[in-house]
Amino acid sequence: MAKLELKYGNHACAEAAIIAGCRFYAGYPITPSSEVAEKMAELLPKVGGAFIQMEDEIASMGCAIGGAFAGKKSMTATSGPGFSLKQENIGYAVMSEAPVVIVNVQRGGPSTGLPTQVGQQDIMQTQWGTHGDKLIPAFCPASVEEVMEETIRAFNWAEVLRTPVVLLMDEVIGHMKESVDMDKFKNPEIWNRKKPKVPPEEYLAYKPEEDDVPALADFGDGYRYHVTGLMHDYTGFPTTNPVMCQELVERLIRKVKRRAKELEKNEEFMLDDAEFAIVAFGSTARSAKLAVKLAREKGIKVGLFRPITLWPSPEETLYRLAGKVKAILVPELNMGQYVLEVERCTKGQCPIFRMNRANGQMIYPFEILEKIEEIASGKIVIPVSKA
Amino acid sequence: MLQPIDISLEKALEKKPYFKYLRIDKMPHIWCPGCGNGQVLKAICIALDKLGIDNNDVSMVSGIGCSSRTPGYFDGYTLHTTHGRALAFATGVKLARPELTVIVTTGDGDCTAIGGNHFIHACRRNIDITVLLFNNWIYGMTGGQVSPTTPSGSYATTTPYGNYEPNFSIADLAIGAGATFVARGTAYHVTELVNLVEAGIKHKGFSLIEVLTPCTIQYGRKNKMGIVDMYMWLKENTIPLKAWEKLPEEKRQGKLPRGILHHVDNREEYTEKYYSVVEKVMGGNK
Ligand SMILES: Cc1ncc(C[n+]2csc(CCOP(=O)(O)OP(=O)(O)O)c2C)c(N)n1
Ligand code: SF4
């Protein structure tokens, strides 16, 4: 029999982090993410790990990276304005190849916006917030049980790819209680960073192996090396050699991109015979799922495509989907962010309709249903995004 | 033409054992002629050698700036981070690996302007990190802009009519924020500086060593001071603490004391305190 436990989303995230092997947390409180920190403060000392509440988010991000280089699986959690503050050091984590998990429980913005209400307005910030070219994996759960799965998956990929990974939640998912089958998390698959197989004299901290990822030695283990946010060569020392610089940026992107198929994770609901598709994620996908059921009762053949890995985008899957349906609707709690990605990936194969809200309120199932009915009946001819 | 002198590393190490802390293959360094930064690095290396601390036990962390390039020449676990954030990263390293000796090298702009918040909180926590703050009164790396320590009336590229802002006394700031070891040295008094670094590393808790070090190019050029003028200024205007204490107030004007200015050794160190909590929570079975 399944072992069901009622859990709060943000607490589930912290519990899963411990299961994934997280032993270092540095953060700064911000609604609606603070309960992640509070739970980590309780759990980490019980397993010998380190918790620290830093003076701000910039410090938290830097501190988490320091912990990662000193050998610990490391995490920080935040929301909107805090995520903005972390951006420079997130870029540092990309460049220095620090494995670290950043949890962002989204709220409404810009600025302090709506602290206690839901938003999905950091979709683009997650990918483009820090300057420079990069590809940062981002996972987006839609239930408490999935928060646990995705937290563990975020740690696994951060370690294996030596890169920051963002767990992109939203206020509704972070603040709701749901039952979780704990048996699923008894012996989960855990991946760890590659350690060097050569003696310290031969170790090159930034020389990629076949998978484009360099082995990572922990500070204190006798492998002395240099880490910088500047462009660097295989030794980790700064370089302005144009060939090395180009190669480095290309590799940092490629190491994620080449695993895109393995990283990709979606839920498809009633899509097999669908004439229309809804593309939605996080809490919005829950409304969309009910809307699909209600529409089916009315005889409208609609299905849901829910990306769980938001970045890298499921480009081919979305392209194929657009080839099969008459139209796609993208409801999201922002003024139109992910819809841009859907448009890019589907390359004009079918009309894309959008549904946007940024006032802290959910998009309700009946509203999505109404929109689907309009689209199915041909009432809206011009996709909103083009109007 | 000048010929490179061919001395084997073994020979050099025999005469100067502290060379073992240097990444000789990364020389020559990027610092300008006369810049004091090399003297500070040398003092750190000699101090570590005197204390008998192995390279494998030291992590050096910095932010961004000329002084923050120091870790690149130091043979340990070195982390050259983002501007102003060295102490945040160093806190992570120390908390995750308390057995490491963690040294931060930072500039006056790096540490007290952009990094001011991290600085006061590291002082407050009393975490066992030794900070070498290279105070050259200016932003060297970006071309000589005004810093929170630029003396009033001095020139910088962003104060073409002379600096009109009041400046920090770094030592007072650190003491006020709760640092348990605060010292001041200069790049002119290197032997003395070695002793200060040694004492700072030995101190279990947060140590700040402010080092007055000339930026011969940016500060010197803007303020019409040559390399020799700048070192002579340090020689003539800084006074050992004992002598300073005996000076009447009017003779102290424009001068600064050198030495250990503040030392408290009865406050618990941060990582020890944290891990004692961990042990208690785990019921002693860590
Ligand atoms: C976020 C950010 N802002 C500004 C800079 C540009 N910058 C690089 S070094 C520096 C000042 C360095 O001055 P200081 O810390 O006094 O060190 P010095 O070069 O004098 O040793 C600045 C402003 C930067 N790298 N990052
Ligand atoms: S600019 Fe100033 S601080 Fe920087 S290396 Fe030159 S002399 Fe030193």
For ligand 1, mutation pick of B83, B87, B213 (most atoms within 8 Å of CB): B83
Number of residues that this document lists for chain B = 286
Q: Which residue of A has its CA nearest to B286?
A: A48
**Segments making up each domain of chain B, as ranges:** 33-281
Q: How far apart are CA A335 and CA A70, in angstroms?
A: 41
Q: Tokens 């001041």 — which residue? A: B184
**DSSP code string of A218-238:** PTTSS---EEESS-B-TTS-B
For residue B156, give the amino acid letter: A
Q: How far apart are CA B34 and CA A151, in angstroms?
A: 52
CB A50 within 8 A of CB A72: yes
* Pocket mutation for ligand 2, best pick of B40, B141, B225 (most atoms within 8 Å of C-beta): B141
Query: CB of B75 closer than 6 A to ligand 1?
Result: no
pLDDT recorded at residue A348: 96
Mean pLDDT across chain B: 96
B96 CB contacts (<8 Å, ≥6 apart)? A23, A24, A50, A66, A67, A70, A71, A72, A74
Query: How many angstroms separate the CA of residue A126 from the nearest CA in chain B?
Result: 20
User: Residue A174 half-sphere exposure, CB side, CA atoms within 13 Å?
Assistant: 31
Q: Which atom of ligand 2 is nearest to the CA of B37?
A: 8
Which ligand has the shortest distance to the CA of B65? 1
Distance B105 CA to ligand 2 centre (A): 15
Cα B72 from Cα B78, distance rounded (Å): 7
Residue B10 is predicted with a pLDDT of 84
B63 and B84 in contact (C-beta within 8 Å)? Answer: yes
Could you tell me the distance, in angstroms and rounded to a whole number, from the CA of residue A360 to the centre of ligand 1? 39
CA distances from A145 to A19, A152, A181 (A): 14, 11, 7
- CB contact under 8 Å between B56 and A59, yes or no, is no
Ligand 2 pocket list (CB less than 6 A)? B 31-32, 35, 37, 66, 136, 140-141, 215-218
Please tell me the distance from the alpha carbon of residue B89 to that of residue A222, in angstroms, as a whole number. 20
Distance from Cα B82 to the centre of ligand 1, integer Å:
9
Q: How far apart are CA B219 and CA B233, in angstroms?
A: 13
Topology, domain B33-281: Rossmann fold (3.40.50)
Nearest to B117 among A56, A222, A230 (CB): A56
User: Residue B88: which of A59, A72, A74 has the nearest Cβ?
Assistant: A59
Q: What is the 3-class SS of B116-137, one letter each residue?
A: HHHHHHHHHHCCCEEEEEEECC
Which among A224, A234, A240 is the top mutation candidate for probing chain B, defined by the most B β-carbons within 10 Å of its own β-carbon?
A: A224
Please check whether residue B57 is in contact with residue A219, taking contact to mean a CB–CB distance below 8 angstroms. Answer: no
- Does this chain's domain A4-185 share its CATH topology with A265-377? yes
Tell the residue number behind the tokens 């995705």, with chain if given.
A150
> With an 8 Å Cβ cutoff, are A67 and B81 in contact?
no
Q: Domain A4-185: state its class.
A: alpha beta
Report CB contact under 8 Å: A69, B77. Answer: yes
In 10 A of CB B143, how many CB atoms? 12
Q: Which amino acid type is present at position A201?
A: E
Instruction: Concatenate the DSSP letters of all residues of chain B into one string.
Output: -PPPP---HHHHHHH-GGGGGB-GGGPSPSPPTT-THHHHHHHHHHHHHHHT--GGGEEEEE-SSSGGGGGGGBSSEEEE-STT-HHHHHHHHHHH-TTSEEEEEEEHHIIIIITHHHHHHHHHHT-SEEEEEEE-SSBTTTTSB--TTPPTT--BTTBTT---S----HHHHHHHHT-SEEEEEESS-HHHHHHHHHHHHHSSS-EEEEEE---TTHHHHHTT--HHHHHHHHHHHEEEHHHHHHS-HHHHTT-EEEEEEEE---SPPHHHHHHHHHHHHTTT--
Residues written for chain A: 387
- A204 in contact with B, Cβ within 8 Å: no
Instruction: Select from A64, A220, A229 the Cβ nearest to the Cβ of B92.
Output: A64
- pTM over 0.90? The answer is yes
CA A211 to chain B, closest CA, distance in angstroms equals 25
So what's the pLDDT on residue A378?
Answer: 87
- CA separation for the pair A76, A58 (Å, rounded): 11
Domain definitions of chain A by residue range:
4-185, 265-377
**Token code pair at residue B193:** 């500086």
B58: closest CA of chain A, how far (Å): 8
Q: Determine the Cα–Cα distance for residues A223 and A204; give it in Å rounded to an integer.
A: 9
Number of other CB atoms surrounding residue B238 within 10 Å: 20
Contact A23, A100 (CB under 8 A): no
The residue written with tokens 């060297």 in the block is B140
Residue numbers in chain A where pLDDT is lower than 50: 386-387
Q: Which residues of A36-63 are buried (b: 16+ CB within 10 A; e: fewer)?
A: bbbbbeebbbeeebbbbebbebbbbbbb
Q: Return the residue matching tokens 């408490």.
A: A144
Ligand 1 touching residue B113 (CB < 6 A):
no
Q: How far is the CA of B156 from the centre of ligand 2 (A)?
A: 14
What are the chain B neighbours of A50 within 8 Å (beta carbons)? 95-96, 274
Burial class (CB in 10 A: 0-12, 13-18, 19+), B131: buried
Partner-chain contact A59 B117, CB within 8 Å: yes
d(CA A39, CA B74): 39
Given CB atoms, is A50 within the 8 Å cutoff of chain B? yes
How far is residue A363's CA from residue B209's CA, in Å, rounded to a whole number? 57
Beta carbons of A153 and A309 less than 8 angstroms apart? no
Asked whether the beta carbons of A9 and A169 are under 8 A apart, the reply is: yes
Residues from chain A that touch B90, judged by Cβ atoms under 8 A, are: 66
pLDDT in tens, B157-192: 999 999 999 999 999 999 999 999 999 999 999 999
Question: Which ipTM did the prediction report?
Answer: 0.96
CATH 3.40.50.410 at A265-377, yes or no: no
d(CA A155, CA A147): 12
Residues of B with Cβ-Cβ distance to A67 under 8 angstroms: 92-93, 95-96
Residue with tokens 């006061």: B120
In the predicted model, residues of chain B with pLDDT beneath 50 are none
